[in-house]
Structures are given as C-alpha cells and as structure tokens.
Amino acid sequence: MPRSRAPIGGRILLSTALVGAATLAPAGPAPAASPTSANRQQQYAAASAEYGVPESVLLAVSYLESRWDTNAGTPSTSAGYGPMHLTDARYVSSLGEPGHYGPAEDPRGDDSRAPIHLGKPAVGPAAEAALQTLDAAAAATGSGKDALRSDPTANIRGGAALLASYQKEIGAPVGVGTDPAAWYGAVARYSGSDSTDSAASFADEVYATIRTGAARMTDDGQRVALAARAVAPQKSWLGKLGLRKVARADGVECPAELACEWIPAPYQLLGDGTDPEYYGNHDLSDRPARQKIDYIVIHDTEETYARTLELVQDPAYVSWHYTMRSGDGHTAQHVRTKDVAWQAGNWYINSKSIGIEHEGFARQGTWYTEALYRNSAKLVGYLAKRFDIPLDRQHIIGHDNVPGTVPSTVRGMHWDPGPYWDWSHYFDLLKAPFHGTGTPRTGLVTMDPDFASNRPAFWGCTLDENDNPTSEPCPLRGSSSVILHSAPRHDAPLVTDIGLHPDGAPSTMEASDHGARASAGQTYAIADRQGDWTAVWYLGQKAWFYNPAAAPVAKWATGFVVTPKPGKTTVPVYGRAYPEEAAYPAGAPYQTITPLQYTLSAGQRYAVGQVAPSEFYKAYTFAGTFPGDFTVIRGETTYVQIQFGHRIMFVNMDDVLIQPSAVGAPH
C-alpha cells in the first residue's frame, strides 16, 4: 500500500521523521549545547537588544512554544524548529503516515455489531502552506535556513526579528526598553492563529508566563530563567491584526479561557437510509445520567489538523469528542460529552470515556508545543472536575493504555500518543504531579523518569513505501517510557508480550512495540529488587528496570494490590468489564465474557486502579429505533481494574484478594 500524503492545509502542517544515530543502550545524559559565544540566557539577551524586543516578551513567547528546548533540531508536530518554533512546512512535508485508523482496526470496538473497516482515507488536495515563518526569519536576519533549523542562536535571533517585524507592521512601538504590555498584538500574531480567539488565548498564556516567571534546565543542558514581573497587556493591539472572529457556539463544552469552536461530527443514516443499523459516526446517550464517565483518552491524530477535521465530518468515518491543534492549542468539539464517540477501539471504554485528539504523529519522533500541552490540560482539568474523574493515570489514559477486547484484537490496538508524550509535565500542568507516597517497603512504584535525559534508543520512526517501519534509528529525544528487561542487566532481552508476539519472542525497541514499556505516572507492584535494579509484575512476569538511588526513574508508592485468592493457581484477565449472561434481558444478545491471552498467577500482585461495575451499553440502531435500545445492562459481577502491562485490564473481583500494597511486599 503506498504511503499516504496528508494535505498541507489550514493552520497546521505535516511533519516528517528525522533520523539520529541510536543503539540499544541505557539512556545517557543530554548532549552538550551547540558551541556558541554565549550561553542560552545570553543568547536571548543579545537577540532582545539586537531587534528591540523586550527580553521578557522574547523569553515568554519561546517558553510557550518550546519551553526553551532545542529538540535536537527535529520538527514539532506543526513543522516548527528550535526554541522559537520557526515553521518550515515545505521542508518537512515530504513524508506522511498512514491514517489514524487502519483497515485491521475497529475504533468502535463493539463485537456485538459488524466491525467498522475504514481502510485508508482518501487524500484531499494540498493547500498552500499557511505557515512558513522560517523564510521570513531568514530574510530578516540573513541566516541560512539550515542554521535557523539547527542552531539555537540563529533560531532565537530569527524569532526576535519576527516579533519586531510584527510589532512594526501594526504601528506599535519597538525597542528593548518599550513596555512589554504594548507587545500584545505582535505576540498574538506570532501564534500563527487565523482567528482572534486563538491568537488572544496564545497571547494571554504568554503574558501569564511573564507574570509568574519560569526557570528550568533545557534539553541540551542550558539553564534559562524568566523573572516574574507584573504586566497588564494592552489588548487593543489585537484588533490591528485583522483576524477572523469566531463566534462561540452555544453549549460548546470547553472552559471559558480556551479558544473552542463547534464542528459537529454527523449523526445520520447511511446508504439508502432504510437500515437503522447502518449509520454513523457515533452513538447518542445521556451521560453521566445514564452511565458514569470514568476515563479521558488522550490520542494523537496521525494527520494534520485540517485533514482531521475533514475526517471527523465524514458520516461514514468515526468520531471523537475534541480535536486540538498543535501550534496554538485551538480546540474543536465534535461530539457532545453526553454521547458516545467511536474512538478508543474498546466499546466498554468508549461508552465510559471522552476522547481527545491532539494533532501529532506518534511514530515520527516529533514534539508537542507547550501551547498544546497547556490548552489540553485546561480542557482535561475542566472535564475531570465536571464529571468527577480522578486526575491520575488510571483514569487519564493514552489510547495506548486501552486494552484489546478479545485475544484477536490485542495486536491491532493503537499505541498513540506514543513514547514521546510528556506525561509528567502534562500532570504538572493538571496540578496533579506524580508524588512519592511510600517507601521501598510499601510495595508499589510510580514511574516518573526525567523526560529530558531519558532517551531510549527506539527505531522505526520512518516508514518504507509499503508503510512498514524501517530499521532507521529514531531521533534520540526525551521520553516518558521506562524500558523493561527480563533480567536485571542492560543486555538482557526485553520482556515478552504474548499479545503482540504470539511466538513468545521478546519485545523490541521498535517505536510502536510497547510490550516492554511502562510509562510515567503508571503504578506497578514491586516484584523484586537487586542493587540498582527494580522488578515489577508485568503481563504475568517479572520485568526489571534500571532504578539507581542516585537517579531514580520511579517513586515509591502505596495503595492497594490484587492477588489471586488462596487455592487459585491462575486468574483470567479481561479487556472489558461486561455483565454475566443472566443480566441480559430477553432480546438482548449476550456479550460473551472472553478472557485475554494473559493470566495472573498465584504469587503475583498488580496495582488496583478502581473497582469497576459490569456494564454493557446497548446501542444498536439509529436514534434508538428498536425497543430496548440506548439502555445500560448492568450485572452482579464486579471487576477490578489493574495495571497489568502497558495497558489497563480487568479481573473478576470474585477471583482475587484486594489488600494494602505493603502486605506481603518484597523487602
């Protein structure tokens, strides 16, 4: 199948994979900064003086784009480079990814209905690039394009030159000594947004950063700080930009400070309109009155923002609740939160979750902007508070944490947002940071590697002409993933995931193979400890990770674990929490409770996420045409959600004991 090429359209543009040298080895320290005549802080000061941009404005804009990181000269998901996120879409638009849902996947995940086979979506015509700021930066500074992409000094000068040019274009004062408040219009223009609400949202975040200040070590080892200062931006400059105004639709479900519009996913009959079971592209419900919402699922789009909007408006495609744009965090809502989107590939999870797509490409090793992280955290925080969803990694999950429904679907489940999503920073923004709550004797660990210096050597970030991953190494970049070995040494094979590798072969470092990975914020039961190595129970085996006391990648935790009841040698593990057969009323076909290919054996322990009721949302027909449709079937069986591998799974409460994690913990 030929490689798909998504269009360059609207605000955000397709990114490409760049390769870096990597071998299977422990993550090392961040590389040294590029040789320059000054450190990073001085580079910002010099660019500020050269182009007459207040240093606080320059630093705050850069922070909201990249958190001052260089990202090893690789592009963001919106084709931006370097600390100032200078965009070069034409340079990076030559490679694509297969669409988000492939022909072997059923995003609805309800095997009581015929599966959805989408195939590869057609590609629309390419549009002229809306963003190509690197060209303007090159013209303004005289720097070469290669330097602007790869050299932080040149990149910062380019960003300063753009801000100064935007300020002059609207007739605002320029000069390093000018009041930062007068730069609101130029800052809003820098976002690249085409609407006043998104541009203002970006600018407001920049000025919030000036007021609070910031300080951190960048990914290439540079200490940068922005001192907090009071500032009241002069927002009247926004009107000079001539951007379109987007009316906020009544009933759109977003926090007030988030730029959000309503672009509905169609709910309609398909074909000739006579078959009530042939419809798209989501199901109606009345949540949370009908069924509690327990999860928020974080996705990436594997498409540009513009193309993603085209897909979700196709009645024959599938749906999700929200899409977020990479460059500025602009948000579109498509499905009401009360309704069920076909997004996670598991009907039990779909019926109890809200799905949020983030413009990005899990495989390509690209990075997400700070604007996207911040706006996503605002949306998730708002939804979590509204629906009483705990802010933890048992309820705020990636698509890669959703379990397969039955053994045959395990291999086809998605793995986005992938190993390069910064879960620790994301939860910091949610004001729910990962804390250590225990000791080595309390029996649990919560993964929390240092994102910048944790750089696993993945491969397969590029695809061949048949859309198969190549053996090229991925860029060495920060990751949330902790790699799990079968023995306490770096050269030991990785642990095996029999769902992904039915032949029993070890997992690999291929980018999509998450069979030997734990992720930041996930909590596991300790199985053993030897020197600098810690083992956790993972997919029915001991999984070892390097966890030296001088640089730990996990925090000791406390909580509850499950273990098989006395007399049970093994316990089945499930991908969904469905009711027993007796719970189904007449006329409602029984959904078989099918164990996955994994088992939980005596002596093993797994961290408890929540106690889950057995439920099945029966939604077979358009608008509930048949009697008994749009009903939740509930049973007497109760399940326990556990962190069993990289994905969450379920066990029958009748099969296990729930006990404090310190009881029986290895010492």
Instruction: Give the model confidence (pLDDT) of 440-458 as tens digits.
Output: 999 999 999 999 999 999 9
- pLDDT score at 104: 54
Tell me the per-residue pLDDT of 542-554, one tens digit each, with 9 for 90 and over: 999 999 999 999 9
Radius of gyration of the chain (CA): 25
CA distances from 477 to 251, 422, 509, 514 (A): 40, 11, 14, 17
Strand-pair category, 260-262 with 631-643: unpaired
145: CATH:
1.10.530
Crossing angle of the two packed helices 55-66 and 152-169, in degrees rounded to 10: 110
Encoding tokens for residue 42? 């001085």
What would the DSSP string read from start to end of 134-199? HHHHHHHH---HHHHHH-HHHHHHHHHHHHHHHHHHTT---STTS-GGGGHHHHHHHT--SBHHHH
- Residues 384 and 391: beta-carbon distance below 8 Å: yes
pLDDT bin (cut points 50, 70, 90) of residue 107 is: confident
Pairwise CA distance, residues 12 & 25, whole Å: 35
The answer to the question of residue 224 being in a domain is yes
- pLDDT score at 114: 67
The answer to the question of residue 354 being in a domain is no
Pairwise CA distance, residues 397 & 648, whole Å: 9
Average pLDDT over residues 528-552: 97
- pLDDT score at 118: 56
- pLDDT score at 95: 44
Pairwise CA distance, residues 300 & 295, whole Å: 16
pLDDT bin (cut points 50, 70, 90) of residue 105 is: low
- Residues 469 and 509: beta-carbon distance below 8 Å: no
**Count of CA atoms in the C-beta half-sphere (13 A) of 522:** 27
The residue among 510, 562, 571, 574 whose CA lies nearest residue 537 is: 562
pTM: 0.91
Encoding tokens for residue 585? 């009323």
Q: State the Cα angle at 362 between 359 and 366, rounded to 5°.
A: 75
Say which residue, 306 or 528, is predicted with more confidence: 528
| pLDDT value at 136 more than 80 | yes
The answer to the question of residue 150 being in a domain is yes
Report the percent of the chain where pLDDT is more than 70.
89
- pLDDT score at 68: 98
- pLDDT score at 575: 98
| pLDDT value at 130 more than 60 | no
- pLDDT score at 25: 33
Element (DSSP H or E) covering residue 604: none
CA distances from 25 to 346, 419, 421 (A): 35, 16, 21
Pairwise CA distance, residues 205 & 212, whole Å: 10
Which residues does 151 contact at the CB level (< 8 Å), separation at least 6? 34, 36, 82, 143
The residue among 237, 72, 82 whose CA lies nearest residue 166 is: 237
Pairwise CA distance, residues 385 & 372, whole Å: 20
- pLDDT score at 15: 30
pLDDT bin (cut points 50, 70, 90) of residue 201 is: very high
What are 518's strand-pairing partners? Answer: 482
Lowest average pLDDT, out of 9-18, 280-289, 341-350, 539-548, goes to 9-18
pLDDT bin (cut points 50, 70, 90) of residue 463 is: confident
pLDDT bin (cut points 50, 70, 90) of residue 362 is: confident
Q: Whole domain around residue 139: which residue ranges?
A: 40-93+129-241
Average pLDDT over residues 84-109: 66
pLDDT bin (cut points 50, 70, 90) of residue 115 is: low
Average pLDDT over residues 298-321: 93
pLDDT bin (cut points 50, 70, 90) of residue 125 is: very low
| pLDDT value at 482 more than 50 | yes
The answer to the question of residue 111 being in a domain is no
The answer to the question of residue 229 being in a domain is yes
Tell me the per-residue pLDDT of 254-266, one tens digit each, with 9 for 90 and over: 999 999 999 999 9
Order of strands across the sheet with 444-447?
A: 541-546, 533-538, 523-530, 444-447, 554-557
CB atoms within 10 A of CB 567: 6
The answer to the question of residue 502 being in a domain is no
Tell me whether residue 23 is exposed, middle or buried, using C-beta atoms within 10 angstroms of its C-beta: 0 to 12, 13 to 18, 19 or more: exposed
| pLDDT value at 163 more than 90 | yes
What are 649's strand-pairing partners? Answer: 642
- What is the biggest distance separating any 2 CA atoms in the chain, rounded to whole angstroms? 80
Average pLDDT over residues 601-607: 98
- pLDDT score at 21: 27
Tell me the Ramachandran region of residue 567: left when phi exceeds 0, alpha when psi lies from -120 to 50, beta otherwise: left
Element (DSSP H or E) covering residue 600: strand 599-601
Phi, psi of 454 (to 5 degrees): -85, 100
CB atoms within 10 A of CB 391: 17
The number of domains in the chain is: 1
pLDDT bin (cut points 50, 70, 90) of residue 16 is: very low
The residue among 42, 41, 46, 48 whose CA lies nearest residue 175 is: 48
Q: Which residue has the tokens 């300063």?
A: 160
**Count of CA atoms in the C-beta half-sphere (13 A) of 487:** 4
The answer to the question of residue 380 being in a domain is no
- pLDDT score at 239: 95
The answer to the question of residue 156 being in a domain is yes
Encoding tokens for residue 381? 């925080």
Lowest average pLDDT, out of 19-33, 179-193, 199-213, 617-631, goes to 19-33
